[in-house]
Amino acid sequence: MLSALIWIPLVGAILIAVWPGKLNSVHCRLLAIVIASIPLLINIILSFNFDPNNPNIQFTEYLPWITKIGLNYYLGIDGLSFPLIFLNSLLTLISIYTSSQTIKRSRFYYVLILILNSGVMGAFIAQNILLFFLFFELEIIPLYFLIGIWGGTKRGYASMKFLLSTTVSGILILTSFLGLAWLSELSNFDYEVLRTHTLPLSTQLILLAPLMLGLGIKIPIFPFHTWLPDAHVEASTPISVLLAGILLKLGTYGLLRFGIGLFVDAWVFIAPWLATLAAINVLYGASCAIIQKDMKKVVAYSSIAHMGYILLAAAAATHLSVTAATFQMVSHGLISALLFLLVGIVYKKTGSRDVDFLQGLLNPQRGLPITGSLMILGVMASIGIPGMAGFIAEFLVFRGSFPIFPIQTLLCLVGNGLTAVYFSLMINRVFFGRLSPELAQLPRVLWSERIPAFVLSFCIVVLGFQPSWMVRWNETQVGILLTRKPDITVVMQQWRTEKR
């Protein structure tokens, strides 16, 4: 069944590409929606059969592939990956649904989105680290074209910057993986096999360095973040939804799965520096968001800041903080997707994202009152208002990280306060006040355009009131992930011994 999650989008992409005769953009979009709905239905079926109390990898599929280099077609899911594959299926369907019915080169466009979905899905369910890398690389080219062809005026620059940054990221990750297998003297890249082999601390540090750099570019972490705002600003709304909602999570997923899972001694050793970097990430992203004039850039820098919370939770590596990191990934995916969708509606109806030009859009008669109300809900969720998924995620992150890194956690709390500042400034300027004369005759927002925003809002509120529905999926797996975590005093003693 897991193979279906990967191959149905790929087969669907081929079907759209070779469909005989003419296939206009409307029919192409409908066909893509049907294809993207199938993985979501499969995920719903899996949710009824997934056992959250089972610590083992579930629904496994194993097929020897290129055994001489240790590459096997090994798939499986656990509590870390299952929420993310569900999120990937949902956001892919929303991205296709919100795409324009008159988009040019529609066949190529939907083929790329389906390939992108397949690559991300494969990365999350791969249980062979070399197979993970192949799927990790698969998503680069589709996203490059999606930004470079259907993006804004500077799409060429933004797409090339994304391509170069992500390519370097992949090279660094592959270097770490190859070094791990070589130094472990193993001819197998299966994740569970590598986890059973322990390397000296100094060796782990050498291998963890390129992995952290590669994942840091992907997340992104300061100072490797510069590609993200450009990509968001130039990408179309559906692609921004995928980029912020799910693609960034490949980096944070890698932190938990490979950083903690494979290099646990080295992780404990560098954790204080990672926590400090997380605080810098949060404060820097929030500070940059305050001064932005483009609504999309505000949300983009907000994403950078919120990725810092996940890094902080991963650095603390407590049972509660790692559980919170997974919750924050899903929460941020839903909230950022909602905000980018609503910014896209504002841009489509007004022709602008400039916070100095837009004003009074909450006007109940001539403005965008429902869009504005949903935007306020999304902002409240991002700030961490109780009753929404953002509050639960951030509270758990801070609660789980404070006993280990109190100063860095307090600095991240300051960054959380800055979130209220920059989003309040944006909401106040754009939606409150008197409606500008230039915006007096805005086109109506159709209910069909609002449906994805309502779906995301519903998920945000439901997870805010019932967080246990998701937390229970990964509690057992988090315990397994942290079983080998040593005390810092043990790690320091090992370090002093190796130096001698």
Q: How far is the C-alpha of 228 from the C-alpha of 400, rounded, in Å?
A: 28
Nearest of 400, 372, 380 to residue 464 by alpha carbon: 380
Distances (CA, A) of 234 to 224, 289, 290: 18, 17, 20
pLDDT score of 471: 85
pLDDT score of 498: 60
pLDDT score of 188: 83
Q: How far is the C-alpha of 487 from the C-alpha of 475, rounded, in Å?
A: 21
pLDDT score of 491: 59
Distances (CA, A) of 75 to 62, 121, 209, 257, 455: 6, 11, 27, 14, 30
Q: How far is the C-alpha of 402 from the C-alpha of 408, rounded, in Å?
A: 8
pLDDT score of 439: 75
pLDDT score of 487: 61
Reported pTM: 0.94
Q: How far is the C-alpha of 66 from the C-alpha of 493, rounded, in Å?
A: 40
- N- to C-terminal Cα separation, the chain: 52
- Cβ–Cβ < 8 Å for 104, 276: no
Q: How many residues does the chain have?
A: 500
Q: How far is the C-alpha of 322 from the C-alpha of 300, rounded, in Å?
A: 24
pLDDT score of 349: 87
Helix (H) or strand (E) holding 339: helix 319-350
**Residuewise pLDDT in 10s, the chain (500 residues):** 889 999 999 999 999 988 887 888 888 999 999 999 999 999 999 988 888 888 888 899 999 888 888 889 999 998 889 999 999 999 999 999 999 888 888 899 999 999 999 999 999 999 999 999 999 998 899 999 999 999 888 888 999 999 999 999 999 999 999 998 888 877 788 888 888 887 888 888 899 999 999 999 998 998 888 898 899 888 999 999 999 889 989 999 999 999 888 888 888 889 999 999 999 999 999 999 999 988 999 999 999 999 999 999 999 988 899 999 999 999 999 999 999 999 999 998 888 888 888 888 888 777 788 998 999 999 999 998 998 999 999 999 999 999 999 999 999 999 989 999 999 999 988 888 888 777 777 888 888 888 999 999 999 999 999 988 888 888 888 877 877 666 655 555 665 666 65
User: Pseudo-torsion of CA 12, 13, 14, 18, nearest 10°?
Assistant: 100
Q: 445 phi and psi, to 5 degrees? A: -95, 115
CB atoms near residue 4 (< 10 Å): 13
pLDDT score of 183: 84
Q: How far is the C-alpha of 93 from the C-alpha of 242, rounded, in Å?
A: 10
3-state secondary structure of 220: coil
Site of tokens 């799927």: 135
pLDDT score of 189: 87
Fill in the DSSP letter of residue 59.
E
pLDDT score of 309: 94
Q: How far is the C-alpha of 82 from the C-alpha of 121, rounded, in Å?
A: 10
The structure tokens listed for 281 are: 């990430």
Helix (H) or strand (E) holding 60: strand 58-66
Q: How far is the C-alpha of 121 from the C-alpha of 255, rounded, in Å?
A: 17
**Which amino acid belongs to residue 375?**
M
Q: How far is the C-alpha of 35 from the C-alpha of 15, rounded, in Å?
A: 10
Q: How far is the C-alpha of 274 from the C-alpha of 89, rounded, in Å?
A: 31
